[in-house]
Amino acid sequence: MNQIHINLSLLFISVVLLENGEVHTFGHGNHGQLGQGHANSSNVPVLIDVPERITQIAAGANHTVLLSASGQVYTCGNFQVRLYLTNCSIIVLNFV
Protein backbone atom coordinates (compact mmCIF):
# COMPACT_ATOMS: atom_id res chain seq x y z
CA MET A 1 0.00 0.00 0.00
CA ASN A 2 1.36 3.43 -0.96
CA GLN A 3 1.60 6.03 1.76
CA ILE A 4 0.41 9.56 1.18
CA HIS A 5 0.92 12.39 3.66
CA ILE A 6 -1.30 15.44 3.37
CA ASN A 7 -0.83 18.76 5.13
CA LEU A 8 -3.82 21.11 5.06
CA SER A 9 -3.17 24.67 6.13
CA LEU A 10 -6.25 26.47 7.42
CA LEU A 11 -8.04 25.45 4.22
CA PHE A 12 -5.80 27.79 2.18
CA ILE A 13 -3.34 25.31 0.68
CA SER A 14 -2.83 21.58 0.49
CA VAL A 15 0.56 19.89 0.31
CA VAL A 16 0.67 16.21 -0.60
CA LEU A 17 3.78 14.05 -0.04
CA LEU A 18 3.84 10.74 -1.89
CA GLU A 19 5.77 7.70 -0.72
CA ASN A 20 8.29 8.18 -3.56
CA GLY A 21 9.19 11.66 -2.24
CA GLU A 22 7.23 13.66 -4.79
CA VAL A 23 5.34 16.71 -3.53
CA HIS A 24 2.14 18.08 -5.07
CA THR A 25 0.51 21.36 -4.03
CA PHE A 26 -2.76 23.12 -4.70
CA GLY A 27 -4.95 25.87 -3.26
CA HIS A 28 -4.29 29.58 -2.81
CA GLY A 29 -0.92 30.58 -4.24
CA ASN A 30 -0.95 34.36 -4.06
CA HIS A 31 2.25 34.41 -1.97
CA GLY A 32 4.14 31.77 -3.95
CA GLN A 33 3.48 29.23 -1.19
CA LEU A 34 2.62 26.46 -3.67
CA GLY A 35 6.20 26.38 -4.96
CA GLN A 36 5.01 26.20 -8.55
CA GLY A 37 7.20 29.05 -9.81
CA HIS A 38 4.45 31.69 -9.81
CA ALA A 39 2.02 33.38 -7.45
CA ASN A 40 -1.21 31.93 -8.87
CA SER A 41 -3.72 29.62 -7.23
CA SER A 42 -4.29 26.06 -8.45
CA ASN A 43 -7.47 23.99 -8.24
CA VAL A 44 -5.69 20.73 -9.02
CA PRO A 45 -2.57 19.14 -7.49
CA VAL A 46 0.62 20.10 -9.34
CA LEU A 47 3.98 18.33 -8.96
CA ILE A 48 6.57 20.80 -7.70
CA ASP A 49 10.17 20.73 -8.88
CA VAL A 50 12.43 19.80 -5.98
CA PRO A 51 15.91 18.42 -6.79
CA GLU A 52 15.76 15.54 -4.32
CA ARG A 53 13.45 13.19 -2.43
CA ILE A 54 11.30 14.90 0.22
CA THR A 55 10.56 13.09 3.49
CA GLN A 56 8.51 15.60 5.50
CA ILE A 57 6.21 18.53 4.75
CA ALA A 58 4.71 21.42 6.68
CA ALA A 59 2.61 24.38 5.62
CA GLY A 60 1.07 27.55 6.95
CA ALA A 61 -1.44 29.86 5.34
CA ASN A 62 1.24 31.60 3.25
CA HIS A 63 4.25 29.27 3.23
CA THR A 64 5.40 25.70 2.64
CA VAL A 65 8.42 23.91 4.14
CA LEU A 66 9.91 20.68 2.78
CA LEU A 67 12.57 18.49 4.40
CA SER A 68 14.65 16.30 2.09
CA ALA A 69 16.16 12.89 2.76
CA SER A 70 19.61 14.54 2.93
CA GLY A 71 18.46 17.08 5.55
CA GLN A 72 18.10 20.09 3.27
CA VAL A 73 15.13 22.36 3.99
CA TYR A 74 13.28 24.01 1.10
CA THR A 75 10.85 26.86 1.64
CA CYS A 76 8.49 28.90 -0.48
CA GLY A 77 5.95 31.59 0.23
CA ASN A 78 5.60 34.68 2.37
CA PHE A 79 7.01 34.66 5.90
CA GLN A 80 6.90 37.03 8.87
CA VAL A 81 9.91 38.95 7.51
CA ARG A 82 8.11 39.49 4.18
CA LEU A 83 10.45 37.13 2.32
CA TYR A 84 8.89 36.33 -1.05
CA LEU A 85 10.04 33.28 -2.96
CA THR A 86 8.35 31.94 -6.04
CA ASN A 87 9.60 28.37 -5.97
CA CYS A 88 11.08 25.75 -3.69
CA SER A 89 14.56 25.73 -5.19
CA ILE A 90 16.01 27.93 -2.45
CA ILE A 91 17.76 26.06 0.35
CA VAL A 92 17.56 27.87 3.67
CA LEU A 93 18.95 25.37 6.17
CA ASN A 94 21.18 22.33 6.11
CA PHE A 95 20.86 19.81 8.96
CA VAL A 96 23.64 17.34 9.70
Query: pLDDT tens string for the chain (96 positions)?
Result: 466 777 666 568 888 899 899 999 999 888 888 988 888 999 999 999 888 999 999 888 888 889 999 988 888 887 644 434 444 444 444 333
In the CATH scheme, what is the code of domain 4-94?
A: 2.40.10
**Cα separation values, 70 from 10, 13, 19, 78, 88, Å:** 29, 25, 16, 25, 16
pTM: 0.75
Q: Where are the domains of the chain?
A: 4-94
pLDDT at 10: 57
Of 59, 55, 4, nearest to 35 (Cα)? 59
pLDDT at 92: 40
Of 83, 10, 1, 16, nearest to 50 (Cα)? 16
